[in-house]
């Protein structure tokens, strides 16, 4: 018991670190793969295997052979080594485990350097875990930046205690590495605080081991180190020339806008404000400036939340460790001691709870269905010679990693290092317009042979008969359009415009069904639709077919909606109503078609209720869409037809008057 009494601070510290390791280990087994990890990995592998220069672009057709601003080649090589040794999934997991293990070691050394008492560790460490988890899914150079930041804080404190040549050499070496690694401006911000502190000391004529000559010479050395990199472009100039227009990307977006009304972040910024004031009172002017800058940047840029959070929490631990808590507790009343102890315990427990919850979110997160796996396999086998691909930004890295070198992408995650802001803005405009006529012009401009689009975004290209690309392949989540083959001209239009289905299309759709079975995966969104139409074609009667369909087994909303329109066309209105009703996330047209079907089988009460809902303001708010002209015209027509069968209710009459008023304004 005596040993336990004497060593309980070490045991508690070890327990807190061990629990944090387990939490982070659990989170590292997430199935989410960072989109940028693929192009980092590809560049690292090509550098190791064939010596392919990472300083020019080899993967896009929009900026082929153009120079690339300095990237973290070291990170890319380390990532490639992990994946080559352990495989893609395991390699990505292990590099996370390696990075946070080293971070925990460096954080421990930081706590040891500031002589943090175990209560301070107990309160602050869970929040370092929490902030680390906010960006934990991303396998990017930042996973090692956190290690460099804490190391810089340790060297800051050492140099503040002794501004010796030896300590300054350590700082210079760290900054030299950082300049050639990633986001070296972070180190400059931290060490600027150190030089500010030393300047204040000299201006205050406090005795120490520093002279203006040493201060100026080492400051100059650290600044000049910023030029010792392949492109000789100083990180400070990169920051000064950074365009605010990059806020169009989520990485550089404003945190308070992307995560609005977050009580946790509001509390974090309040704590940051307290910390700045506290450190000024403690005469730690440099660290107060560092804390203020990092807190402000975490407000400005989402990608800096984790790094800023680690800095602020580490400096909070430093500030709290400067307080003589034993003396404080001796002087204050018992009630104050109880209050401070309770708040500290609640803070620590809350930190662990929040970190555990966040780790569970990370562990459960997946984007397996958000990557065009089967399309990539199809392209590799069908077109080994390659071609130019139009793609979403997030898919670019995956495609350039998965496909042979002959395939080139339109864009990937290398924004601001390869793709300039005007190009990314043009891409964002294309994306916002959902690939209308503008993308047709882009296809002609770059001789694009393939386009890989999410299913929900391929509607306009399919609808545009003048579009130079046709539907060649469809999987569960993506559509491949190409200039090579037009495999599904009719079924793709039926997928997006089921109201256009006609019985005369059946023979052509059956032929496309045969093609679909040959080349499409079983989980393709198109196969079940064509299979149902084929079964309808082969059934003894439409009634027999519709009676055999179980709405709960229909594969997608596209499937449910198509059968609903087919049933309407063939006058099986009750079945049509059931098909539309089975759609989970209904659109306005779905409600209107339900109303039309109910009207046809003389269920006038339900028909009126559905039209009222579809045309109401509450429905527009729920779907975040105003009724367009066609929807209002259909709703008005349904009301007028209903009036021929029975008088409308007062709610129905009121809604009809409102719609007529809106139509007159259009």
SS3 sequence of 464-532: CCCCCCEEEEECCCEEEEECCCCCCHHHHHHHHCHHHCCHHHHHHHHHHHHHHHHHCCCCCCHHHHHHH
Work out the average pLDDT over 269-293.
94
Share of the chain above pLDDT 70, in %: 95
At residue 243, does pLDDT exceed 90? no
**Cα radius of gyration (the chain):** 31
At residue 260, does pLDDT exceed 70? no
More confident site: 462 or 311 = 311
Note the pLDDT tens digit of each residue in 325-370.
888 888 888 888 889 889 989 999 999 999 999 999 999 999 988 8
The arrangement of strands across the sheet holding 450-454 comes to 407-409, 387-390, 450-454, 478-482, 470-474
- Residue 254 CA to residue 310 CA, distance in Å, equals 19
Please provide the average confidence, as pLDDT, over all residues in the chain: 90
pLDDT of residue 206: 64
Work out the average pLDDT over 104-122.
95
Helix (H/G/I), strand (E/B), else coil: 51: coil
Least confident residue range of 242-256, 395-409, 457-471, 593-607? 242-256
pLDDT of residue 439: 76
Note the pLDDT tens digit of each residue in 415-446.
888 999 999 988 888 876 655 667 778 888 99
Work out the average pLDDT over 2-16.
76
At residue 43 the predicted structure's pLDDT band, cuts being 50, 70 and 90, is very high
Per-residue tokens: 129: 């875990």
pLDDT of residue 265: 81
Note the pLDDT tens digit of each residue in 547-576.
999 999 998 999 999 999 999 999 999 999
Name residue 388's beta-bridge partners.
Answer: 408
Between helices 142-161 and 165-179, what is the axis angle to 10°?
Answer: 160
pLDDT of residue 256: 63
Work out the average pLDDT over 212-227.
94
**Most confident stretch, 147-151, 204-208, 614-618:** 147-151
């Amino acid at each position: 018991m005596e040993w336990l009494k004497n060593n309980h601070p070490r045991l508690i510290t070890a327990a807190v670190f061990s629990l944090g390791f387990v939490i982070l280990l659990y989170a590292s087994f997430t199935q989410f793969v960072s989109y940028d990890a693929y192009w980092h990995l590809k560049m690292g592998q090509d550098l190791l295997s064939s010596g392919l220069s990472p300083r020019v672009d080899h993967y896009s057709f929009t900026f082929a052979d153009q120079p690339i601003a300095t990237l973290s080649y070291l990170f890319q090589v380390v990532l490639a080594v992990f994946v080559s040794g352990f495989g893609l999934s395991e390699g990505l997991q292990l590099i996370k485990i390696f990075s946070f293990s080293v971070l925990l070691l460096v954080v421990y050394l930081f706590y040891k350097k500031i002589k943090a008492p175990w209560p301070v560790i107990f309160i602050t460490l869970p929040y370092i875990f929490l902030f680390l988890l906010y960006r934990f899914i991303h396998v990017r150079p930042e996973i090692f930046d956190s290690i460099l930041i804490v190391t810089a804080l340790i060297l800051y404190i050492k140099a503040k205690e002794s501004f010796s040549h030896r300590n300054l050499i350590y700082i210079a070496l760290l900054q030299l590495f950082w300049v050639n690694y990633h986001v070296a401006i972070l180190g400059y911000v931290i060490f600027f605080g150190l030089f500010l502190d030393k300047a204040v000391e000299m201006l205050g004529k406090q005795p120490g081991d520093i002279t203006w000559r040493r201060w100026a010479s080492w400051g100059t050395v650290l600044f000049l180190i910023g030029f010792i990199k392949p492109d000789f472009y100083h990180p400070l100039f990169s920051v000064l020339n950074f365009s605010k227009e990059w806020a169009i990307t989520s990485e550089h977006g404003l945190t308070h806008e992307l995560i609005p009304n977050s009580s946790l972040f509001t509390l974090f910024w309040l704590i940051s404000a307290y910390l700045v004031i506290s450190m000024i009172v403690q005469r730690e002017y440099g660290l107060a400036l560092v804390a203020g800058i990092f807190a402000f940047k975490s407000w400005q840029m989402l990608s800096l939340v984790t790094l800023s959070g680690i800095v602020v929490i580490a400096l909070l631990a430093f500030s709290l460790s400067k307080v003589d808590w034993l003396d404080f507790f001796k002087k204050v009343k018992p009630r104050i001691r109880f209050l401070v102890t309770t708040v500290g315990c609640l803070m620590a427990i809350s930190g662990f709870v929040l970190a555990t919850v966040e780790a569970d979110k990370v562990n459960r997160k997946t984007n397996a269905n958000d990557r065009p796996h089967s399309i990539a396999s199809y392209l590799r086998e069908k077109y080994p010679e390659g071609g130019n691909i139009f793609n979403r930004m997030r898919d670019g890295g995956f495609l350039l990693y998965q496909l042979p070198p002959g395939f080139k992408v339109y864009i990937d995650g290398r924004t601001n290092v390869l793709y300039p802001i005007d190009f990314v803005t043009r891409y964002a405009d294309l994306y916002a317009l959902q690939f209308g006529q503008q993308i047709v012009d882009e296809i002609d401009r770059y001789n694009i042979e393939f386009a890989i689009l999410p299913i929900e975004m391929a509607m306009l290209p399919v609808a545009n008969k003048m579009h130079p690309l046709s539907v060649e392949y469809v999987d569960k989540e993506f559509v491949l359009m190409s200039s090579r083959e037009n495999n599904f001209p009719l079924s793709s239009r039926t997928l997006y415009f089921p109201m256009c289905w006609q019985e005369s299309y059946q023979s052509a759709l059956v032929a496309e069904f045969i093609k679909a079975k040959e080349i499409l995966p079983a989980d393709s969104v198109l196969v079940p639709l064509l299979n149902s139409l084929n079964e309808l074609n082969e059934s003894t009667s439409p009634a027999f077919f519709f009676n055999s369909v179980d709405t709960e087994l229909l594969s997608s909303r596209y499937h449910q909606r198509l059968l609903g329109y087919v049933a309407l066309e063939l006058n099986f209105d009750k079945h049509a109503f059931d098909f539309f009703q089975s759609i989970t996330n209904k659109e306005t047209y779905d409600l209107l078609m339900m109303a039309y079907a109910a009207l046809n089988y003389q269920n006038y009460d339900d028909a009126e209720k559905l039209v009222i809902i579809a045309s109401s303001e509450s429905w527009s708010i729920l779907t975040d869409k105003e009724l367009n002209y066609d929807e209002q015209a259909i709703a008005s027509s349904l009301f007028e037809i209903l009036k021929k069968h029975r008088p409308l209710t007062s709610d129905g009459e009121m809604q009809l008057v409102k719609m007529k008023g809106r139509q007159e304004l259009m």
